[in-house]
Amino acid sequence: MSASSGANKRLITELTKLKALSTNESSVKFLLDKSPIDDPATAGRAGASTANVILGRILPTGNIYNQAAFQIEIKLPAEFPFKPPEVRFVTPIYHPNVDEQGKICVDLLNSNESWKPTTPLVDVVKAVVDLIDNPKIDHALNAEIASEYTSNRTEFDRKALASVKKNGLQRS
């Protein structure tokens, strides 16, 4: 029971920090849409088969992507914080580091050396926003978009803008 209450306390702390990213004082913006606390019947159940899921919108600042918000899903495994969360885009986004299923390759989450149990979810959100604002072509999940980004930036920008206009969410 104490392990479960400790996990719930950590989750509440993390959610409070994520909510703080919606303020004007924050350099990275994240709008919390849904959290496991919204559904107490499933939040933090010991032995729960489903992971705790957090939904929220990031507000990138980079050119093109700064015109909309993009919803991400942060899935906390039962072993969190000892195992990193899984992050994916719910909102379709035209980006070299995001695949068709919305999966994203963030170094912080994919390296045993980078992830620590003390890593806050705020750092995860900041890493996702940074990757959207500053694509890493060397770690592209979509080779075709990465090639277009480096060799035909005008066409990439056109397609990315069309995607933002079609799929982007409100920034408030």
d(CA 15, CA 37): 9
Determine whether 105 is an active site residue: yes
Q: Of 55, 78, 105, 161, which one is the catalytic site residue?
A: 105
Q: Residue 89 is inside which H or E element, if any?
A: strand 86-89
Q: DSSP string covering 45-84, please?
A: -TT-SSPEEEEEEEE--STTGGGSBEEEEEEEPTTTTTSP
Catalytic residue positions?
Answer: 105
